[in-house]
Amino acid sequence: MFEFGKDLRKLFAQARQEDDLGWVELIGADLLRIEARQQSTDAGRVSCARPFSASLRACALWREHARRTGAAESLARAHDAAQDAVKQAGTPDQTALAAVEVAHISMIRFDLCGGIDGLEQAEQAVAALAPGRRAEAPAAALGARIEARLARLSGDDGRLREAAARMDAALQGPAGKDKIQGDELRMERAGLALEIGVMRRDPALLDEAGRDLAVLIDGASPDYRPLTRARALALCGTGLSVLAALAGDADAAAQGRAMFEAAADQFTPDHSPLDWIAIQLVRSEDEAVPLLTLTQCESLTQGQGLILGALARERRIARETALVATLGDVAGLDAIETRIRARLIKAAASEPLAWAADQIGMAHVALARTTLARTVLTRSPFAESRLDAPPELGLILTEAAVTAREQGALVLAERAERLLAQPPMATNGPFTKPGLP
């Protein structure tokens, strides 16, 4: 056992010296933080032979830790390491590489916490670069990924197609030949094809996304690339679920659920907490994920201002409300509403995404109460012919959707808009956009 431990440490010591960071998928979040801290220490030593490369490597490790955990401290450390690389750059090529890394961190911050301004600034920074040979591939890949995010926010079909074409061009270049960059680009390109296919209700695009994801799954061994494999499986599950909904195909829906289960089996929650949470939340869209699981998702993201945290809170409130309503427990609904109101007072200015999630939660509670009241009335000989949801719910949901969109949390905004469109909300008529708090 001791010799095995020595050999394992020797293997990781060799891996630390390589440019390819694919090995980090094999280690958990806690060990990744230790590796990032050690790399930062090494980069800061006076005796460090290659301080620029060491700082870029520390930045990549901290960035990956932030991506998996949502830790604000890790994102800040990644930014600090990137700034160190900027200062240590000795050639135009190195300056461009460091600038790409700074922009990459801004993109990750957007993915985690929203904030369109930061994403637009990152796009401008990448566009302003005049990269040389070494920086060309990462700049092209990052520029295409940022443009895909901005295209999604715009909702414009033409811009989405242009973003897809830009990703294709990046994949045809040097970035497509790099294992890590290439896989990330292919993953996002498949996700974009999936999104455009859903918008157009185009089975051909959905099939194209499925084929690309199948290639990724085949090339990502669970023994060496568990996170890449899990992300591709989760996207496949999403595609199958969409196809099932479009075609009313129960078999496809079951296959989608199986994909989500397979994705969740690739790693434990502590290996990559945010990946695990994302899989659970996607599953919750079309199946009854246990309340305990959703509560765990919310607790893992508590107080970090994460988009996933807001989504977890909304799903947990929706699930808890549905369970209480099933029991006909009006007092239980009142208790949920009281807790939400207490949080709303604090969250409006400091945590806009949490505030939006709680506003949607208030709507879930109000709709459940309306449904219970309608059930009671219809059993009475004096029942009214119709009982609508309170009109102010339209204002609540519209405001929540506007706030979520302004932060870049499209899925959260779409959940508010779906509630607006369903009965009994739809019977209350259109609502105008209110002012933000």
Domain boundaries, the chain: 179-283, 291-437
Decide: 272 and 29 in contact? Cβ < 8 Å: yes
Residue type, 306: L
Q: How far apart are CA 106 and CA 121, in angstroms?
A: 8
Is pLDDT of 346 > 80?
no
Q: How far apart are CA 322 and CA 104, in angstroms?
A: 40
Of the chain, the percentage scoring pLDDT greater than 70 comes to 87
Higher pLDDT, 334 or 429: 334
Is pLDDT of 166 > 80?
yes
Closest C-alpha among 77, 8, 93, 2 to residue 43: 77
What is the structure's pLDDT at 384?
A: 47
Decide: 426 and 385 in contact? Cβ < 8 Å: no
What is the structure's pLDDT at 134?
A: 77
Residue type, 71: A
What is the structure's pLDDT at 180?
A: 85
Read off the pLDDT band of 413 (50, 70, 90): very high
Which range has highest mean pLDDT (14-23, 285-294, 295-304, 377-386)?
Answer: 295-304
Residue 213 CA: distances (Å) to CA of 87, 166, 208: 39, 19, 9
- Grouping H, G, I as helix, E, B as strand and the rest as coil, residue 130 is coil
Is pLDDT of 387 > 70?
no
Residue 203 CA: distances (Å) to CA of 37, 49, 195, 272: 46, 54, 11, 32
Higher pLDDT, 188 or 345: 188
The average pLDDT across 413-431 equals 70
Report pTM. 0.88
Closest C-alpha among 77, 50, 53 to residue 63: 77
Q: How far apart are CA 60 and CA 284, in angstroms?
A: 32
- Grouping H, G, I as helix, E, B as strand and the rest as coil, residue 418 is helix
The average pLDDT across 224-246 equals 87
Is pLDDT of 422 > 90?
no
Task: Supply the mean pLDDT for the chain.
Answer: 85
Read off the pLDDT band of 284 (50, 70, 90): confident
Is pLDDT of 4 > 60?
no
What is the structure's pLDDT at 186?
A: 92
What is the structure's pLDDT at 370?
A: 85
What is the structure's pLDDT at 432?
A: 35
What is the structure's pLDDT at 176?
A: 83
Is pLDDT of 221 > 80?
yes
